[in-house]
Amino acid sequence: MNQPEDVSQLAAPEVDLEKRQWLQGRREPVACEDEQAEESPVEILADFIRQHSANGQLVARELFLQPPYSLEEAELTPLLETLNEGLAGEDIARVQGSLDEYYYSTQTMTANYADMCVQVVEKDICRAIAQAVRFDCQTYPRPYKVAMLEQSPYGFAPEQIEAALAAIETHPDYADIRPVASSNEVPYLFSERFMSYGKAYGLCEWLEVEQFQNP
């Protein structure tokens, strides 16, 4: 899917305004020109999440407790429990962050992308980098190009990346994250959990140099 560059915002201009009225505590019926049955509150909530996911955005639980929505905890909890049980659609999924829990639709967002978005929203850059590197090394497998951190969904500035890599170098939680570079000095990262230095070097050398010499 094509994701927008900025996933750190939790609101989208395309959200259905009539359904937003319900989230703001207004209980007027939703207008239905074709006289179809009105959606239930949990169906409206699920659709709200789907609209955000289609724009590459998570929906934080805390969002519904704050203005302009300001739902009561006693009202929000059973709605989210119904979502978690899959009664409003099996596509609504939850991911737990360190600061909040977040909801998304698997129709338009993968679990891996949602995890990446959580790290961006919570500004946990070191964890985001380590997770991206480990995922690529385990899944493809391939080392992770540092320049990718400046692109969506991260959008980290070069100085942020530099500071995070310096912190990763000395943090015991990220001891497996190691640097490697091709012969033309393009920086990559790899995880020693899933890949040796030799394999990481060989792959980044192929990606940056050898494939262009041997078309």
**45-93, pLDDT tens digit by residue?**
999 999 999 999 999 999 999 888 888 999 999 999 999 898 888 999 9
User: What is d(CA 198, CA 196) in angstroms, rounded to the nearest whole number?
Assistant: 5
> Taking Cα atoms as reference points, which of 199, 198, 152, 195 lies closest to residue 176?
195
Which pair of structure tokens corresponds to residue 159? 């100085």
Percent of the residues in the chain that have a pLDDT greater than 90, as a whole number? 67
C-alpha separations of 7 from 55, 65, 173, 207 in Å: 8, 20, 26, 28
Q: Could you report the per-residue pLDDT of 146-164, keeping only the tens digit for each? A: 999 999 889 999 999 999 9
Using DSSP, state whether 76 is helix, strand or coil. helix
The answer to whether the CB of 168 falls within 8 A of the CB of 177 is: yes
Three-class HEC string of 11-25:
CCCCCCHHHHHHHCC
State the amino acid at position 187 in one-letter form: P
Q: Identify the pLDDT of residue 12.
A: 40
Q: Residue 118 has what pLDDT? A: 93
Which pLDDT belongs to residue 10?
Answer: 42
Pairing assessment for the beta strands 101-105 and 92-96 based on DSSP bridges: antiparallel
Cα distance between residue 77 and residue 105, in whole Å: 19
Taking the CA atoms of residue 151, residue 62, residue 97 and residue 118 in that order, the dihedral angle to the nearest 10 degrees is -10
Q: Return d(Cα 86, Cα 104) in angstroms, integer.
A: 13
Token readout for 168 is 């990763």
CA separation for the pair 191, 114 (Å, rounded): 21
pTM: 0.70
